[in-house]
Amino acid sequence: MTAFPDFALAGPELLLAAGALLLLLIGAYGSEKRSSLVSGLSVLLLLVAAVAVVIGRDGSTFGGAFVVDGFARFLKVLVLIGSAVAVVMTQRFAVAEKFFHFELPVLIVLATIGMLLMISAGDLIAVYLGLELQSLALYVVASFHRDDGRSTEAGLKYFVLGALSSGMLLYGASLIYGFTGHVDFAGIAAAAAAGGSTSLGLTFGIVFVATGIAFKVSAVPFHMWTPDVYEGAPTPVTAFFAAAPKIAAMALFVRVVMEALGPVKAEWQQIVAFMSLASMILGAFAAIGQRNIKRLMAYSSIGHMGYALVGLAAGSEAGIYGILIYLATYLAMTAGAFAVILSMRRDGAMTEDIESLAGLSRTNPTVAYLLGIIMFSLAGIPPFAGFFGKYFVFAAAINAGLYWLAVIGILSSVVGAYYYLRIVKIMFLDEPKGAFEPMGGEMKAVLGISGLFVAAFALVLGPLGDAALAAARTLF
């Protein structure tokens, strides 16, 4: 008989799982009025789980399938904050657009469990199960506004393409298992290192696994779903998609290639470098012509994932450090930008047109200045947060000898600055087109906090950087 596994390490996940089941019961047996209670409790649950993650201890359990280390903890806190912010921003919007059901926050919590499992995955089975738990919940959330044709279309597209990518991932995982004889990362790394030259089968496996994960990160050339899903899905759901799942998928990517495939760096480095390059360029150029702000954010997120992948292509401790800082700043910028997008309501209806931001500096100067700061940060202009993320990943790439990647990255971020600054120009220089409806209190709070974080990032870089450095070190 095997020893009883250590469940305490998975405390935050167990807490979320039990909480999700409880919320489901509250929602199912409570009256319709109580569904806002479910939202409130979900936020509380996610924040309590974040605290549990911070005070938890390191280790691995379930036969090495579940790993808790500094890296996992740092990213889990980011994911939990991202999900909590998403639930906060969803509630009022979904009620106003009449598609709110209590299942929405519960599904977000369940997706978050999947993300935490992805971040903690220590073997290929855990990778797949975590990914499926997350994706399945996301497919449903994307088509949650089921009376809206675009939402159901987004959900269906996401589901079909997501199922395809899961299939690719599974195929790659089976090849890796077949050619190394292990599903756990340590075993795969040992078998890959022992082989001397990499077998062709393992290389194929790496390609397929990278394809499957790149789909979830929406790295070019597996990004096609992103603009359509982001545009079609209900806006708060888009806000959720743009932050937490991206962070989890990136964490998974880092862990799989660094821990399992670390010894065969030459095999995956070129794949990652190519995807990073293509994502940066496509993100910069394809967003220029966009009129819809949700599509713009989709291309922007493709580009940002490209920049984060630069750090992974470097494959060094400094590169991982850069990714962690990048993801933290990306989370704050996305949350702030979507708080404004969700508040773009005029005459009781949502507008998604970028032009409708015209003259915001005169109708609502505070929001205009905060969004302006976030746009400058997204463009990577110092001294805002986005600059530091880009600086660290590019510095890591140069130290790793990937000069061309860093140069093209910097050039494409100059191109990308055009469309971010165009939004600033529309807000500050164009004639006003009438005021938006007043922002909800929770949107103000999200925008205020993220704007402040982005503006004063140089001050928090010290403690955050220490945590990120400790987290990056655990992978080496």
Whose Cβ is closer to other proteins: residue 143's or residue 276's? 143
Asked if 233 contacts 80 with a C-beta cutoff of 8 angstroms, the reply is no
Measured at the CA of 239, the angle between CA 355 and CA 371, to 5 degrees, comes to 45
Task: List the one residue from 72, 140, 247, 357 that touches other proteins (CB under 8 A).
Answer: 140
Among 38, 76, 132, 443, binds other proteins (CB under 8 A): 132
Cβ nearer to other proteins, comparing 244 with 400: 244
| 101 contacts other proteins (rule: CB under 8 A) | yes
Judged by CB under 8 A, the stretch of 44-52, 131-139, 280-288, 298-306 that binds other proteins is 131-139
- Taking the least distance from each CB to other proteins, the nearer of 139 and 394 is 139
My answer on whether omega of the bond before 263 falls inside 30° of 0, hence cis, is no
Q: Of 183 and 213, which CB lies nearer to other proteins in the complex structure?
A: 183
Sorted by sequence, the CB contacts under 8 Å of residue 170 that are 6+ apart come out as 128, 212
137 binds other proteins (CB under 8 A): yes
Q: Which stretch binds other proteins (CB under 8 A): 133-141, 281-289, 369-377, 414-422?
A: 133-141
- How does DSSP assign 173-221, residue by residue? HHHHHHHHS--BHHHHHHHHHHTSSPPHHHHHHHHHHHHHHHHHHT-TT
Write down the residue that tokens 């890591």 correspond to.
396
**What number of H helices and E strands is found in the chain?**
19, 4
Q: Can you tell me the distance from the alpha carbon of 56 to that of 10, in angstroms, rounded to the nearest whole number?
A: 9
The CA distance from 310 to 279, in Å, is 10
Measured distance CA(434)–CA(292) in Å, rounded? 19
Residue 117 interacts with other proteins (CB under 8 A): yes or no:
yes
Six-digit token pair at 347?
């005459």
Distance of alpha carbon 180 from alpha carbon 187, whole angstroms: 8
Q: Is residue 163 near other proteins by the rule CB under 8 A?
A: no
CB of 66 to other proteins, least distance (A): 6
Q: Closer to other proteins at the Cβ: 10 or 293?
A: 10
Determine the longest span between alpha carbons in the chain, in angstroms.
74
Q: Which residue is it, tokens 């799989």?
A: 256
Kindly write out the interface string for residues 35-74 of this chain, putting x where it contacts other proteins by CB under 8 A and - elsewhere: --------------------------xxx-xx--------
Q: Is 17 a residue that touches other proteins (CB under 8 A)?
A: yes
Distance CA 417, CA 216 (A): 25
Distance (Å, rounded) from C-alpha 162 to C-alpha 132? 9
Residue 381 as a binder of other proteins (CB under 8 A): the answer is: no
Q: Which stretch binds other proteins (CB under 8 A): 40-48, 141-149, 169-177, 316-324?
A: 141-149
**How far is Cα 376 from Cα 329, in angstroms, rounded to an integer?**
13
Which of 15, 80, 116, 136 binds other proteins (CB under 8 A)? It is: 136
Q: Is residue 100 a contact point for other proteins (CB under 8 A)? A: no
Q: Does the footprint of other proteins cover residue 146 (CB under 8 A)? A: yes
Site string for other proteins, 18-37 (x = CB under 8 A): ------x-------------
Site residues, other proteins (CB under 8 A): 1-2, 4-5, 10, 17, 24, 61-63, 65-66, 101, 103, 106-107, 110, 113, 117, 125-126, 129-130, 132-133, 136-137, 139-140, 143-144, 146, 155, 181
